[in-house]
Every structure is written in structure tokens, then in C-alpha cells.
């Protein structure tokens, strides 16, 4: 009998150059979804998005001008 074992998803640091203590989500690319979790609380809930929706979200963020907290 063949038993399939799930492989752990490969997580990616989204901001390797971020300074210590800053918010940094981890991303995991799954076959049809992108999983997002908080790097400071990895045992807590993970959000999962369809790849096309997550791609559109990231493209929208890239197109928007950066804002500072004071604006």
C-alpha cells in the first residue's frame, strides 16, 4: 500500500534585510495557494489565499506609492 506523506511547505522570509523586531510574515508556496503566517507567532493561525488572488494583491501593492505612517 502506498502512503502519501505531506511534505512541509517551503517558507520564505519576505524581508531578509528587515531590522530586528519588525513585522515579517512568512510565505509558503503550495500548489494552488499561498499560505501566510506571522513569523513571531508561527503556531498561530495561517491564512491561505488562491495564487491568482495573492498575485493580484501583491501587484496592487507594488503599483501603489509608498505611504508613511504620518500621512
Q: Which tens digit of pLDDT belongs to each residue from 26-69?
A: 888 888 999 888 878 878 888 999 999 999 998 998 887 776 66
Is residue 17 in a domain?
no
Is residue 5 in a domain?
no
Helix residue spans in the chain (DSSP H)? 51-63
Is residue 16 in a domain?
no
**Residue 48 and residue 46: Cα distance in Å, rounded?**
6
State the residue range of the domain holding 31: 24-63
Is residue 8 in a domain?
no
Is residue 50 in a domain?
yes
- In this predicted structure, the answer to whether residue 16 has a pLDDT above a threshold of 60 is no
Is residue 45 in a domain?
yes
Strand partners, 37: 26
pTM of the model: 0.59
pLDDT for the residue 51: 93
* Total tally of structural domains belonging to the chain: 1
In terms of Cβ atoms closer than 10 Å to its own Cβ (0-12, 13-18, 19+), residue 68 is: exposed
Average pLDDT on 20-26 reads: 69
Band of pLDDT at residue 2, cut at 50, 70 and 90: very low
**Residue 69 and residue 47: Cα distance in Å, rounded?**
25
Phi, psi at 34, each rounded to 5°: -115, 125
Amino acid at each position: 500500500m502506498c502512503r502519501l506523506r505531506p511534505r512541509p511547505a517551503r517558507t520564505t522570509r519576505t524581508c531578509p534585510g528587515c531590522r530586528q523586531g519588525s513585522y515579517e510574515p512568512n510565505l509558503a508556496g503550495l500548489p494552488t495557494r499561498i499560505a501566510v503566517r506571522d513569523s513571531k507567532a508561527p503556531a498561530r493561525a495561517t491564512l491561505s489565499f488562491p495564487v491568482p488572488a495573492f498575485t493580484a494583491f501583491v501587484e496592487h501593492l507594488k503599483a501603489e506609492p509608498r505611504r508613511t505612517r504620518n500621512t
